[in-house]
Amino acid sequence: VMACKPCPCRGLSPEEHLERWEWMLDGTYGEGEAVVRVKTDLTHPNPAVRDWPALRIIDPEKHPHPRPEVREKGYRVWPLYNFACGIDDHLMAISHIIRGKEHLVNEMRQRYLYAHLGWRYPEAIHYGRLKITGAILSKSKIVAGVQKGLYTGYDDVRLATLRALRRRGIMPEAIKRLMLDIGPKAADITISWENLYAINRKVIDPVANRYFFVWDPVRLTVLGCPKEMYVAELPLHPDRPDRGLRRLEVACQGGVAKLLVSGPDAASMEPGQLVRLIGLFNVEVLEVSEHEVKAQFHSEPHHIAREGKAPFIHWLPVESNIEVEVLRPDGSVTGLGEPGLAREGVGSLVQLVRYGFGRIDAVGEGFARICYAHD
């Protein structure tokens, strides 16, 4: 075949071929002594298409079938991939075949089979490999990583498997929209995570409840508070008033309020700076140290912060919070969150304000674990 020359059997009569076929079935021929080939074109430019093998002998005694009910029948001749798939597609009335471009040669082979049998070949669409920047998509590498304990499972958030994406809150609708945008192309395509995140953000933003999450918490002490109690009532979702409000209370003793802010926010503060605590009040920074920020109460109206171009930051009271762990592809982050997070059901989508979207992975008494999706 490789030399474009016919084998001695190619020109035999149909009767002779049928007799030899019976010899394959009854054991006259042993394993490796005969095959059935589909006659094609020996001058075809691709050697893999020339008279390709369709059925072969497998000795049932040397290689017994794993299923007893099949083993009892003593089958000796078995179809190879292209023959089996081609026949199955016809018997199941397949109208469209959608598969990777590595099967283009298989289409060429199977078309010869269909021509011999007088069948119409299905519509075939071939697509290239889809790659995601920085993601491991090799099944063998993923399986090996799971078996070696490098990954916690096929839904490890560091992977790009469908199970991992679902665990992180990447919705099927987002994946579908991305696939429709890309379309079936024969060329290999590489996309960035941001392509998928941008679509998913539009899908989950309308449904994700909002909560505060403070990571690397730093104490914020506010002096000169004129009230004994401040209550921040914040919407669970800014566009869904029917979902109600989150209520965060801050008690002031002797005019002093104690709160928690995220470490990165604390590190960015400077003495004299005006800062807005979202939904609460405005403060003027007095001192900044590694473990504490001291500030002076400034005012309540948020328009003052707007006019002063003050940063708006999230915060938490020092009490009644829950522990939160956020699982990210680049590692886990721990901190504190609103108690409402623990009341969200597993699988719920949430937005951690100024941090990102995620999916509730586990909840417990005073604890929530969230799989990070994207910002």
Percent helix, strand and coil across the chain, each to the nearest 5: 30, 30, 40
Are 215 and 169 in the same domain?
A: no
Q: Which residues of 64-77 are buried (b: 16+ CB within 10 A; e: fewer)?
A: eeeeeeeeeeeebe
Q: How many domains does the chain have?
A: 3
CATH number at residue 329: 2.40.240.10
Are 180 and 229 in the same domain?
A: no
Do the domain assignments include residue 8?
no
- What are the Cα distances from residue 150, in Å, to 144, 153, 216, 220, 333? 8, 9, 27, 40, 19
Q: Choose one of 73, 94, 125: the last residue of a domain.
A: 125
Are 263 and 339 in the same domain?
A: yes
DSSP string, 14-82: HHHHHHHHHHHHHTSS-TTS-EEE----TT-SSGGGTT-EEEEE--TTTS--SSHHHHTTT--EEE-HH
- In tens, the pLDDT along 281-296 reads 999 999 999 899 999 9
Residue 168 CA to chain centroid, in angstroms? Answer: 7
- In tens, the pLDDT along 204-217 reads 999 999 999 999 99
Are 337 and 249 in the same domain?
A: yes
Are 180 and 258 in the same domain?
A: no
Q: Choose one of 165, 185, 204: the last residue of a domain.
A: 204
Query: For 95, how many CA atoms within 13 A lie in the half-sphere containing its CB?
Result: 0
**What domain range is 29 assigned to?**
14-125
Q: Choose one of 71, 92, 125: the last residue of a domain.
A: 125
Per-residue confidence of the chain (375 residues) as pLDDT tens digits?
A: 566 788 889 999 999 999 999 999 999 999 999 999 999 999 999 999 999 999 999 999 999 999 999 999 999 999 999 999 999 999 999 999 999 999 999 999 999 999 999 999 999 999 988 889 989 888 999 999 999 999 999 999 999 999 999 999 999 999 999 999 988 888 888 999 999 999 999 999 999 999 999 999 999 999 999 999 999 999 999 999 999 999 999 999 999 999 999 999 999 999 999 999 999 999 999 999 989 999 999 999 999 999 999 999 999 999 999 999 999 999 999 999 999 999 999 999 999 999 999 999 999 999 999 999 999
